[in-house]
Structure 1
Amino acid sequence: MEVLSVIEHESLPVLRSRGRGQKALDHNHADALAKLDRELSRKAWSWGNQQIKFGHYCGVISIGNLSLEILPKIYGLEVDLGSSRAALVRMLSKARRLKLRRAGTAGIALQKYSLLDVFILHFCDQLHAEMMQGMIRTYIERNENLNVLRGRLRIEQQFKQNLAHRERLFCQYDELSDDNVHNQILKHVLKILLKMAIGNRARLQVAELLMRFGPISDIAVDTDLLNSLSFDRSTNRYEPIFDQCKWFLAGLHPDVLAGKESCVSLLFDMNQLFEAYVGAEFRKKAWSEGLRVREQGPQKYFARREDTGQNVFMMKPDIAFLNVSNQVVAIADAKWKLLDEEERKLGISQADLYQMESYATRYRVKEVHLVYPMQQKMTLPVQLQLKGSGTRVNVVPFDITARKTAKLPRQSLGEQN
């Protein structure tokens, strides 16, 4: 399978036919994306005159013989696709969308492997680590004729089946078995991943795991079956793996491509991912300074209807910093947008500024923070003074490529803590 990498907001021409390695799509690929577009609840791309432009969703789309990976546009990595891929995976890990563990996944050469193979190798690494502690085994009810009593004797069945064979006993018993619905689902997903994998290493790791599931029965699996699974103390360590199984199955679109192949879309909304990433980066640092971070809260209403007494217009800040008295001392909102420090308004939308003013008023903080990814034309912090309330808005460029925990915006925290 061919891998074609593009950067978010980049456009690709749609040609009648394309050569291998050409940075374009042909009509078959475009038709598949058009069908997929109707199935997705989000708008991951837009259409132009014989071209397609990708939006703020990053990830991978497998369409027939082409694996299309959309990577984030990150300052300093515009032409380094491998590092951009590594930065995306690091964001997914920090935001807890992927649970990278020990040296296994860390050893995945993110610059070398396609994004789809990175996801598959990560899944295999997690599954292998849990299976080293033992496969999932559950009790299965058995009903059969035996020569010795096991479990309990089924009297009714004994009279029906064994009147002429008194040496037999019809027993009902529970047997600890590997052939259970949990392992049947894992086998089903591994068989899907074997078809999806691009590189030899990914295929080999999936095939090795599949060999261990050889005796497990094959069943049809859908998301409803996955959602019906229950876990106990012996199986709850597998829950993150089954969350990934849901993700892989939800990304399958069997009706997009002609034939038996399924289209696969594994996409992330960069707005939501950046918000979760920034929150995770700030959380550890805040704890060390006597603060705690709360995401999507604390929730407050902005207004109240006088006629009904109902509260309306709920407010949910992306990130709030709380002190030991549980008071909000600062608020930050993360925006995955391109800014320009040379532009008079920096490219900040008026709606975003109104939102920050309302946060400052309702939560009674004097400083708020707008956090953006560091960009080529936005590398240094900028402060804005709101003339009405006197609130100070700190526009903070956030370096996604940094491996160290980001510094907290100190202007307000030091004063109010």
Structure 2
Amino acid sequence: MNKTIVVRESYDWITGNDVTEEQYDELIRYMDAKYPNGQVLDIRYRQLRFINYVGVIQCSEVRYEIVPKISITKEDDRKALLKMLSITEFLPVSFSDKVQNGESKGELLPAFVTAFLERLLNELKRGMYKTYQPHEENLQMMRGKLELTKHIRVNTFQKTKVYCSYDEHTENNSLNQLFKAALFIVKKYANQHSLKLSLERCLSYLESVDLVDIGSLNQNSIKLNRQNERFRDATLFAKLIIERASIYSKGNQVSSFSFLFPMNVLFEKYIEVALRQVYSNDEVISQHAEKRLLRNKKSGRGNILLKPDFVVKDELILDTKWKSATVNGRSKYVQSDLYQMYAYVKTYKDVSRCILLYPKQEQEEEHPVWEIVNTDKTIEMKAVRIDDYWNTVKELEEILL
């Protein structure tokens, strides 16, 4: 029986009370193999928590769902995460209206798999992608090109056959093999009836395609072109499944895979979408990189690139920070963040406000506003709700307009 553990990023710990020692070690091994350079786990003695990343990890016996701490319940946090991923198009496929409207249970893995299957099945219904593949065979009649050397070697005593090479128009190509491998990875964990039906329908289209071991898949040979461009979203999703799949003492069967997303990047992208709801597209510049903090007197070149998250109407700078601005009932900030904002407000001459924007907590304190001495410029800390997109837009309007 597969067990699901839901934890909140940077908040809830997984301990020996939640998993067995074997399950704990399997999770550690998987994270070391697939996220070796990312700061994803905060590990203490026989306990750990996830930091900076959200999403789902499926191990052989346990499913871990990591959600952002946004609202009161973990279930609401799951739905809020799915909506954020949908709104930002952070994943290569869109979620169904049922998920976006909050009508489903909001479990992460079924939602991700549903999105993948819907997109793939829609395209398979329109027609399989076929390619011409080189093929050699000893035939009863001539087809394509005669391979003379091989023909002489193979058919010395068979005068009725001819050894030929030809191009075969086939469904058994690397793209369809990628889809089939991805489907078999998630098949074991697709327990919902609707998911099983969709998955089996996809596999029925791919019946004549070879099931290739994930270690043997040649993803570099998969090229998107005019003939298969419609499969782009499904391809990106399938690659995501394959790249995060691992095998541990399970023969050839995949025991672990994941969909994890950097929360700071997701939060920034989410705020960008909401900002463009408040302002027009040309009034919001993301990752502005045209200013330098210093000028080298000898070379005349600018040094130390400044790259604020958003410059709005050339008069406001906003930087997103995925961390709590309220800790133990007090406003908390990092001095280096303020130094960075000070550099922005001094360098961008027309900018009058620099805002550090945080996700709002259940009990948010009033945050400070600093004045730059002898100017009308300010550096401010603000927090915004992210449990609902339109609440986010409304609060951004109140903060910025």
Q: Does 1:356 align with 2:341?
A: yes
One of 38, 42, 63 as aligned partner of 1:42 = 38
1:179 positional shift: 1.3
TM-score, normalised by the number of residues in structure 2: 0.84
Q: Deviations over 1:312-350 (max 9, x none)?
A: 32222112235xxxxx33221111111229966x21211
Match of residue 268 from structure 2: 275
Question: Structure 2: how far apart are the matches of 1:343 and 1:121?
Answer: 41
Q: Deviations over 1:155-195 (max 9, x none)?
A: 84798588999997776544432111110111011111112
One of 127, 130, 138 as aligned partner of 2:123 = 130
Question: Structure 1: how far apart are the matches of 2:384 and 2:139?
Answer: 69
One-letter amino acid of the counterpart of residue 57, structure 1: Y
CA contact (8 A) 1:303 1:313 kept: yes
One-letter amino acid of the counterpart of residue 202, structure 1: L
Q: Deviations over 1:78-130 (max 9, x none)?
A: 22x222111101111222222315647658854x2531222111111111122
Match of residue 295 from structure 1: 286
**Alpha carbons of 1:73 and 1:106: their partners in 2 closer, same or farther (altered >3 Å)?**
closer
**Alpha carbons of 1:409 and 1:223: their partners in 2 closer, same or farther (altered >3 Å)?**
farther
SS of aligned partner of 1:254: coil
CA contact (8 A) 1:12 1:25 kept: no
Match of residue 33 from structure 1: 27
SS of aligned partner of 1:196: coil
SS of aligned partner of 1:355: helix
1:410 positional shift: 6.0
Q: Does 1:69 align with 2:65?
A: yes
Query: Which stretches in structure 2 are left out of the alignment for 5+ residues?
Result: none
One-letter amino acid of the counterpart of residue 38, structure 1: D
Pairwise mapping of residues 185-334 of structure 1 onto structure 2 (< 5 A)? 185-222=178-215, 225-255=218-248, 262-287=255-280, 291-322=282-313, 328-334=314-320
One-letter amino acid of the counterpart of residue 306, structure 2: M
CA contact (8 A) 2:121 2:201 kept: no
Question: Structure 1: how far apart are the matches of 2:395 and 2:221?
Answer: 42
TM-score, normalised by the number of residues in structure 1: 0.81
One-letter amino acid of the counterpart of residue 48, structure 1: R
Match of residue 88 from structure 1: 81
Match of residue 21 from structure 1: none
* Seq. identity, %: 25
One of 377, 383, 386 as aligned partner of 2:372 = 386
CA contact (8 A) 1:285 1:408 kept: no
SS of aligned partner of 1:252: coil
Q: Does 1:78 align with 2:69?
A: no
Q: Does 1:55 align with 2:51?
A: yes
Question: Structure 1: how far apart are the matches of 2:116 and 2:79?
Answer: 16
CA contact (8 A) 1:339 1:377 kept: no
**Alpha carbons of 1:295 and 1:231: their partners in 2 closer, same or farther (altered >3 Å)?**
same
**Alpha carbons of 1:252 and 1:394: their partners in 2 closer, same or farther (altered >3 Å)?**
same
Q: How large is the Cα RMSD of the aligned pairs?
A: 3.5
Length, aligned pairs only: 393
Match of residue 367 from structure 1: 353
Question: Structure 1: how far apart are the matches of 2:195 and 2:369?
Answer: 48
Query: Which stretches in structure 1 are left out of the alignment for 5+ residues?
Result: 19-23, 323-327
One-letter amino acid of the counterpart of residue 361, structure 1: K
CA contact (8 A) 1:330 1:412 kept: no
